[in-house]
Structure 1
Amino acid sequence: MKKYNDTTYAILGILTTECKSGYAIKQFIDRSLNHFWKISYGQIYPTLKLIVQEELAEVRASSSPGKPDKNEYFLTSKGMEILKNWLKQPVEHLPIERNEILLKLFFGRFQAKESKILLLQDYKQNLEGRYHTYVSIEQAIINHNDDNDDSIYWLFTLDYGKRITKAAIEWCDYTLDKLSAEED
């Protein structure tokens, strides 16, 4: 069976939701996947074109009064089969995190102590903002998706993000304590 890139599989998965247009797919990504999987507009439309060419989805023109026409994409049985087959496959690569704070801290001996502390405090504050965003998203899913079969899985991925973020906040606290105790 032909192998596709992860963006193709992600978009096949998104097409199982109510998101059917390129714009709706991008909005969905920005609201949910963007916290752990980035896909740009520049990737969406070529991928949709490929999906149609490979007969994994059909495209239909849709029109609404007072709105411009748009293309909507619907999974074919072949597309659903490809998606389900991919979902069964083991994960090929453990994620590798590219983290600027870790890179800067790795070379921390070339920074003033105050600079390192400010850098970590700012990073921690951003993480706390992200954590609060995750909590808000979690509440929105719980409050508005009781009848959605996907919501439990969305909550699983959100829980992962919350746990990773909480661990990173705890790491900031630990590292700040160590740096504060360090002699100049």
Structure 2
Amino acid sequence: MLAEWRSVDVLVNNAGVARDGILAMFSDDDSDTVIDLNLKATVHVTKQVVRNMLAHGGGRIVNISSITGLTGYRGLSVYGATKAALDGFTRGLAREMGSRRITVNSIASGYLKTEMSHGLDDGQLDQIVRRTPAGRLGEPEDIARAVEFLVDERNDWITGQVLVVDGGLTA
């Protein structure tokens, strides 16, 4: 992958999968799927990209986590654990890379109109919208604007932070 480009300036770790269910009934396969994609793949890809960023004098890394990792939600304990781990990974890696001109931040996303929310029924979606001060589900563009902010070279003093972008749901 990296052989195609001379340098990588920005990495956004956005891949993710959720499986819901009460832990006592959760299959090992579902646990492995969530942990492997949400956490292990992020660590592996980041390791490869960081090597490139170190060789080329810096870069920006943004991990997309979730408010589920901050607050916890019934039926999403494994998913929430992986997203909380991403926030811890963000803080630790920011300390490792800060002196090397690499910033590392995380965006804890709220509920968005994406494939991951399609599994929710209308009643659940209405409840989320009612509880969200902004009065709507987020759009992918809401997260994209936050990513643009964090990767802007003028914001090189921001590192190791978890930016919550959730329409005020966790306020």
Question: What's the TM-score once normalised by structure 2's chain length?
Answer: 0.30
**Which of structures 1 and 2 has the larger relative contact order (alpha carbons within 8 angstroms, sep 6+)?**
2
Larger radius of gyration: 1
**Greater percentage in strand:** 2
Question: What's the TM-score once normalised by structure 1's chain length?
Answer: 0.28
**Greater percentage in helix:** 1
